[in-house]
A and B are shown apart, each in its own frame.
Chain A
Amino acid sequence: MIFKQFLEKTVPLLSWVCAMVLLAAIATVLGFLFLRGWQSLNLQLLFGTTPVLDAILFKRRVFDGLFPAMVGTFSLVCLAVCWAIPVGIAAGIYLAEYARGKSRKMFNLIFDVQAGLPSIVVGLFGFLITIFLNRQLSNQIYPCLLISSFALAFLVLPYIIRATQASLEDQPESLRMTALALGASRMQNIIRVLLPQSLPGITSGVILATGRCAEDTAVIMLTGAVATAGVPRSLLSSFEALPFYIYYISSQYADQEELATGYGAAIILFFICLMLFSLAFVIKKRVNFSVQYRVH
């Protein structure tokens, strides 16, 4: 009895302490990053000696700033997520609503294995594909933005698949029955009722995938990212990327000033992620509102 009372009081306290420790860890990481990097955050870090307007309008190339890496990272993340979202959601719908028996077990296993693949293996696979395409299709094909984005999409696909599947399976039976009883077809039920209700869960998966795309270095190192490529001119160009820059600087910096630019790049990467997360939330809210409340 006393032990039970002790547990009743201790478990919530322990949970609270764990949550606080987690918050403190996040605050420490961010604090450390900002303390080390804020001094290097200036226009010169982004654009070097190139005039800002010329750089933004792509009139002149930026040689000694992070602007090309920012553009590269942004393009890479957007492209990878664009490939991964439709495929991931479709696969999630299939697993939650259609797959039964053996095929369901088989696909679950495949996606579990895919989720556990080390990113360097995915990068190597992307690199081999590039070599194959270079030899078989065209010798103009080299590691580039397109191949990097495909490889990253492959890497993050399980996040979106699992998020979609779990959100759909979590929908209550009463909600599933409602539209069907009103004459909805199975597809109408999924598209008009179940998917909009699953959006918060799917958005979490997309955010997780976005974060993973933005931070991954191993995949892009082998499939298209280089130290000095400038702003990517096409999908078949190599590109610069912030995580690659951070990795490069942290392992090969010459002095403290150069290291500080690495911290600055990390802060910029953090803000790019924040911007993409916000975009995901805005889209979720807009879609939800339009599906549920817009009248006439």
Chain B
Amino acid sequence: MTETTKIKTRNLSFSYNGNAILKNSSMDFQTNRITAITGPSGSGKSTFLKILNRLWETTPNCTMLGKVEIKFADRFHDIYRPQYPVTRLRRQVGMVFQAPNPLPMSIYKNVAFPLELAGRNDKETTRVLVEDSLKVVGLWREVQDRLNTSAFELSGGQQQRLCIARAMVLQPEVLLLDEPTSSLDHKAGEAIERLLLKLKKQCTILVVSHYLDQVQRIADAVVEVREGKLVTYELSRN
């Protein structure tokens, strides 16, 4: 563990319907870095991300053992401690899914939605934060004239950037992305990669990826989920 460690997992075991997905794994993840999580299909990459924001708890028949600590405000917090509110955790640890999943709302409401959930109801602040967030993901110029239209009218790549903007509006310290480019075309995928390289200055990023070339382009570190263990993987850049 170093001073820049952001996330610590200790003796992490996870099973679903009695099948062991992760077995007694420990790993550290560094601040303001992009860590790629790789591994074969069904190895538990997405599950590992859901362990970091406790989203697996909505799925029945799952069991988790071990400890996960994330550093917020210079102090490590055990995120599975009963006193730690899960809603607060998920506001600090944003998540973007494999397929773009805008809510059936207008573009503006999609990005403002997490602020509303968090009880931040000041309209002017919301407007500024929404605008900033859309600017960060490079979407503002494309949508500023049609904020009231349905988010489904955007292209796939735009929808995914909207989802990143929505996750970023609460300024999370950790951003989890589950194969964010796999449902997009090459050009849209590249835009997301550029965005992630920009976002790592603001937060710690963990991205599940199947594409080795993508991992080479964006990742600072690679962790492979191999037979239930988390294994660090040396990155060889040419």
CA distance A181 to B114 in the complex (A): 10
Q: Number of residues in A with C-beta < 8 Å to the partner?
A: 23
Stretch at the interface among B96-104, B136-144, B190-198: B96-104
Do residues B147 and A176 form an inter-chain contact, with CB atoms below 8 A?
no
CA distance A174 to B196 in the complex (A): 23
Do residues A182 and B150 form an inter-chain contact, with CB atoms below 8 A?
no
Q: Number of residues in B with C-beta < 8 Å to the partner?
A: 31
Q: CB-defined interface of B162-187 with A at 8 Å, one 1/0 digit per residue? A: 00001100100000000000000000
Q: List residues of B (14-51) whose CB comes within 8 Å of A's CBs.
A: none
User: Is chain A's binding surface mostly helix, strand, loop or mixed?
Assistant: helix
Stretch at the interface among A37-45, A184-192, A212-220, A227-235: A184-192
Smallest Cβ distance from A231 to chain B, in angstroms?
44
Task: Tell me whether A293 is interfacial, beta carbon within 8 Å.
Answer: yes
Do residues B147 and A183 form an inter-chain contact, with CB atoms below 8 A?
no
Smallest Cβ distance from B219 to chain A, in angstroms?
22
Smallest Cβ distance from A222 to chain B, in angstroms?
45
Do residues B58 and A176 form an inter-chain contact, with CB atoms below 8 A?
yes
CA distance A185 to B57 in the complex (A): 13
Q: List residues of A (249-296) whose CB comes within 8 Å of B's CBs.
A: 291-296
Do residues A183 and B91 form an inter-chain contact, with CB atoms below 8 A?
yes
Question: Most A CB atoms within 10 A — which of B55, B101, B150?
Answer: B101
Q: Which residues of B contact A176 (CB under 8 A)?
A: 58
Q: CB-defined interface of B214-230 with A at 8 Å, one 1/0 digit per residue? A: 00000000000000000
Task: Tell me whether A77 is interfacial, beta carbon within 8 Å.
Answer: no
Task: Tell me whether B1 is interfacial, beta carbon within 8 Å.
Answer: no
Do residues B103 and A181 form an inter-chain contact, with CB atoms below 8 A?
no
Q: Which residues of A contact B53 (CB under 8 A)?
A: 181
CA distance A182 to B133 in the complex (A): 15
Which residue in chain B gives the minimum CB-CB distance to A197? B104
CA distance A192 to B118 in the complex (A): 13
Task: Tell me whether A115 is interfacial, beta carbon within 8 Å.
Answer: no
Contact of B105 among A177, A182, A185, A292 (CB under 8 A): A292
Task: Tell me whether B73 is interfacial, beta carbon within 8 Å.
Answer: no
Contact status of A177 and B117, CB under 8 A, knowing A292-B104, A292-B109, A296-B123: no
Contact of A182 among B104, B106, B117 (CB under 8 A): B117
Task: Tell me whether B79 is interfacial, beta carbon within 8 Å.
Answer: no
Q: Which residues of B contact A293 (CB under 8 A)?
A: 105-106, 109, 148, 150
CA distance A296 to B170 in the complex (A): 18
Q: Which residues of A contact B108 (CB under 8 A)?
A: 295
- Name the 4 nearest CB pairs between A and B, nearest first: A183-B91, A181-B95, A183-B90, A182-B114
- Residues of chain B having any CB pair with chain A under 8 Å: 53, 55, 58, 87-88, 90-91, 94-95, 97, 99, 101, 103-106, 108-109, 113-114, 116-118, 123, 127, 147-148, 150, 166-167, 170
- Residues of chain A having any CB pair with chain B under 8 Å: 174-185, 188, 192-193, 196-197, 291-296
Can you identify 14 A-B contacts, CB atoms within 8 angstroms? A174-B101, A175-B101, A178-B101, A181-B55, A182-B166, A183-B170, A188-B117, A291-B105, A293-B109, A293-B150, A294-B109, A295-B106, A295-B147, A296-B127
